[in-house]
């Protein structure tokens, strides 16, 4: 009914659209201080004391002081917005789901430093034991599969030039050139950050690279396709949305789709390597270990035994313990979404190909949204209520190449590997 009358309601300035657009704008204002990753991340100063204790042979659990936060005003506003939404309208359902997600994120941040963070985190991001899309193996089982394959192939598939480290300065210059070429000017800047624990972090107009980090030959392509042309690009496109300005924000509910889409971009462009899949998978296994009782030191040693340097192991372990006590029994579960999101996005693209709806896949880049949002909001894109993406990665604009890759995937997945004998 809604789709059939959309054109007419737009011409008549549908009051429901104006109503929910106003609610969305209120939500954007209400959640300004709710910076989930920024407020859970550890300061860079925590790394050196821990690594020094490891070097002495007496590792000590890191002590992280989190701020005491109170988002009660924001949560009251979110509750008021929820009460004014019409859940039967696509915009109303979108605002409702987003407001609930932000409320959970606020509650998580108010609980920083306590085991309660684990409970809110699992509500937002899931757990390692969660089944993959299609009732397949669990996320943890998939992670263990990739870890095993990577261990079997370690160093056998790397060409000599792929083992030469790239400095942060060289990467900054190369990546900046890639981005300037793509946008035809300086839209996203690449900056060196000595205080960053992660190797890189992306915002709408800035990508930060850790000054002390070294990078592989694959890192440049991964940062370009994953961080810049998904995370940054969807934020930039979201800023073009007059009706739903929240599409520029990283609502926690869109994390699985965002990370899945970004990892799919790596895969479809040939930018992902087995070591990257191993790193993602090790984090999922480490989250399961921490939730089962492993403390920070044990998780750190797990990463080191898997082949990571001490600095990399610290960075990986702190991702697992963001916001939670370092003594074990709780985890920040965000990193479980990468594999699950990758499978979900890959399956979604195949479904859209089968239904001849690849345009819906392009709308995923019009802002930060879930796979379900892209379908539910389709009538609004078609009617011009929502703006199409201003920028798109090259791989999704080349419909024939994308369709060819997905068509082969559809066919190849029908082949039973366990029924192929030696020839």
If you write DSSP's letter for every residue of 55-103 in order, what string do you get?
HTT--------PPP---HHHHHHHHHHHHT--TTSHHHHHHHHHHHHHH
> What is the C-alpha end-to-end distance of the chain, expressed in Å?
56
3-state secondary structure of 283: helix
> What pLDDT is attached to residue 418?
45
63 in a structural domain: no
Q: DSSP H helical segments within 126-216, as ranges?
A: 139-153, 168-183
User: In angstroms, rounded to a whole number, what is the distance separating the alpha carbons of residues 258 and 245?
Assistant: 17
Contact yes or no for 284/139 (Cβ under 8 A): yes
Around Cβ 415, how many Cβ atoms within 10 Å?
A: 8
211 in a structural domain: yes
What are 330's two structure tokens?
């709780």
Residue 115 burial (C-beta neighbours within 10 Å; 0-12, 13-18, 19+): middle
Around Cβ 395, how many Cβ atoms within 10 Å?
A: 16
Contact yes or no for 261/226 (Cβ under 8 A): no
Place of tokens 């479809």: 268
> What pLDDT is attached to residue 6?
42
Q: Which residues contact 183 (CB under 8 A, 6 or more apart)?
A: 391
Report CA dihedral (98, 31, 116, 112) to the nearest 10 degrees.
150
User: In angstroms, rounded to a whole number, what is the distance separating the alpha carbons of residues 301 and 286?
Assistant: 10
177 in a structural domain: yes
- Which residues constitute the domain of residue 256? 158-272+386-417
> What pLDDT is attached to residue 187?
97
139 in a structural domain: no
User: In angstroms, rounded to a whole number, what is the distance separating the alpha carbons of residues 145 and 55?
Assistant: 32
**DSSP label at 159?**
-
User: In angstroms, rounded to a whole number, what is the distance separating the alpha carbons of residues 292 and 285?
Assistant: 11
Around Cβ 158, how many Cβ atoms within 10 Å?
A: 16
Place of tokens 């797990």: 302
pTM, entire model: 0.90
Helix (H) or strand (E) holding 24: helix 15-30
193 in a structural domain: yes
> What pLDDT is attached to residue 206?
95
> What pLDDT is attached to residue 245?
96
The packing angle between helices 310-320 and 296-305, to 10°, is 130
364 in a structural domain: no
> What pLDDT is attached to residue 173?
95
pLDDT in 10s for each residue of the chain, 423 residues? 344 334 334 433 689 999 999 999 999 999 999 999 999 999 989 999 999 999 999 999 999 999 999 999 999 999 999 999 999 999 999 999 999 999 999 999 999 999 999 999 999 999 999 998 877 789 999 999 989 888 877 655 554 444 558 899 999 999 999 999 999 999 999 999 998 878 888 999 999 999 988 888 788 999 999 999 999 999 999 999 999 999 999 999 999 999 999 999 999 998 888 888 999 999 999 999 999 999 999 999 999 999 999 999 999 999 999 999 999 999 999 999 999 999 999 999 989 988 989 899 999 999 999 999 999 999 999 999 999 999 999 999 876 667 666 666 555 455 443 443 443
Structural domains of the chain, count: 1
88 in a structural domain: no
250 in a structural domain: yes
| Per-position DSSP letters for 163-186, written without gaps between them | GS-EEHHHHHHHHHHHHHHHHTS-
Contact yes or no for 268/405 (Cβ under 8 A): yes
CA atoms within 13 A of residue 208's CA, in its CB half-sphere: 10
Closest-CA residue to 291 (of 332, 331, 319):
331
| Per-position DSSP letters for 248-287, written without gaps between them | GS--GGGHHHHHHHHHHHHHHTT---HHHHHHHHHHHHHH
126: left (phi > 0), else alpha (psi -120 to 50), else beta? left
Pairing of strands 189-193, 200-202: unpaired
User: In angstroms, rounded to a whole number, what is the distance separating the alpha carbons of residues 91 and 20?
Assistant: 6
């Amino acid at each position: 009914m809604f789709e059939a009358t959309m054109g007419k309601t737009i011409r008549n300035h549908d009051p429901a659209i104006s109503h929910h657009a106003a609610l969305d704008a209120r939500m954007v204002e209400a959640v300004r201080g709710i910076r989930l990753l920024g407020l859970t991340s550890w300061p860079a100063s925590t790394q050196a004391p821990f690594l020094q204790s490891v070097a002495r042979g007496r590792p000590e659990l890191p002590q992280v002081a989190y701020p005491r936060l109170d988002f009660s005003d924001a949560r009251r506003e979110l509750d008021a917005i929820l009460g004014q939404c019409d859940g039967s309208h696509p915009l109303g359902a979108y605002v409702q789901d987003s407001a609930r997600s932000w409320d959970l994120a606020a509650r998580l941040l108010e609980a920083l430093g306590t085991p309660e963070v684990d409970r809110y985190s699992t509500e937002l991001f899931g757990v390692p034991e969660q089944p993959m899309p299609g009732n397949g193996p669990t996320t943890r089982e998939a992670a263990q599969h990739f870890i095993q394959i990577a261990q079997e192939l370690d160093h056998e598939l790397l060409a000599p030039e792929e083992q030469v480290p790239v400095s942060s300065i060289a990467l900054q210059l190369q990546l900046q050139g890639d981005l300037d070429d793509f946008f035809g000017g300086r839209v996203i800047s690449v900056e060196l950050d000595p205080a960053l624990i992660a190797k890189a972090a992306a915002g709408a107009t800035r990508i930060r690279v850790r000054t002390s980090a070294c990078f592989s030959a694959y890192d440049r392509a991964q940062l370009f396709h994953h961080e810049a042309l998904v995370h940054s690009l969807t934020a930039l496109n979201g800023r073009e949305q007059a009706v739903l300005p929240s599409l520029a924000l990283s609502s926690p509910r869109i994390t699985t789709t965002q990370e899945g889409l970004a990892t799919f971009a790596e895969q479809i462009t040939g930018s992902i390597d087995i070591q990257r899949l191993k790193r993602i998978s090790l984090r999922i296994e480490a989250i399961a270990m921490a939730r089962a009782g492993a403390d920070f030191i044990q998780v750190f040693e797990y990463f080191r035994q898997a082949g990571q340097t001490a600095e990399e192991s610290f960075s990986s372990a702190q991702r697992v313990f963001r916001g939670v006590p370092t003594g074990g029994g709780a985890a920040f579960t965000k990193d479980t979404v990468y594999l699950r999101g990758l499978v979900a996005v890959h399956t979604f693209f195949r479904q859209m190909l089968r239904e001849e709806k690849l345009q819906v896949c392009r709308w995923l880049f019009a802002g930060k949204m879930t796979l379900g949002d892209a379908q539910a909001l389709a009538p609004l894109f078609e009617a011009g209520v929502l703006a199409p993406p201003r920028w798109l990665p090259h791989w999704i604009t080349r419909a024939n190449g994308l369709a060819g890759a997905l068509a082969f995937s559809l066919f190849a997945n029908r082949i039973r590997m366990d029924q192929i004998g030696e020839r």
